[in-house]
Amino acid sequence: MNTLIPPLDNLEACIAFAHKINPKRQPLTIEKLRSFPGCEHYSDEEAQNIIQSFELLTAIIFEATTTGQNLCNSEGQVVYLSDNNQPAQIPEPLSKAA
């Protein structure tokens, strides 16, 4: 099931969304990354590089946010990564039976 990202207009909205998608605040692992559709084929090295990229991006955004830098450009344009001109969607992780 795909979910659209809600509008994240302020810090509170960002924090609420983060709590919704990761309520236990567990770090992303190779196994968790592979649970997302389309990510099953990553090697351990590829998955680890992706996770490190996410961690770096998170640190950059956190630093910019806490120092008061505006990360949004109101004059920017939307760039679509697929041909259907739809906003990006975040897939839900696959549930594993307990």
Six-digit token string for 80: 């679509």
Q: 55 or 90, which is more confident?
A: 55
* Angle ∠(54,58,62) on CA atoms, nearest 5: 175
Residue 63: pLDDT over 60: yes
28: helix, coil or strand?
coil
Pair 42, 36: CB distance under 8 Å:
no
**Residues forming a β-bridge with 3:** 90
Whole-model pTM: value is: 0.55
Q: 2 or 64, which is more confident?
A: 64
User: What percentage of the chain exceeds 70 in pLDDT?
Assistant: 64
Q: How far is CA 10 from the centre of its chain?
A: 17
Q: Give residue limits of the domains in the chain.
A: 27-65
Query: Alpha-carbon distance 45 to 5, whole Å?
Result: 28
Residue 1: pLDDT over 50: no
pLDDT digits (tens, 9 = 90+) for 5-42: 777 777 788 788 888 888 898 999 999 999 988 999 99
Q: What does pLDDT average to over the chain?
A: 77
Where do runs of H (alpha helix) occur along the chain?
Answer: 11-21, 30-34, 44-66
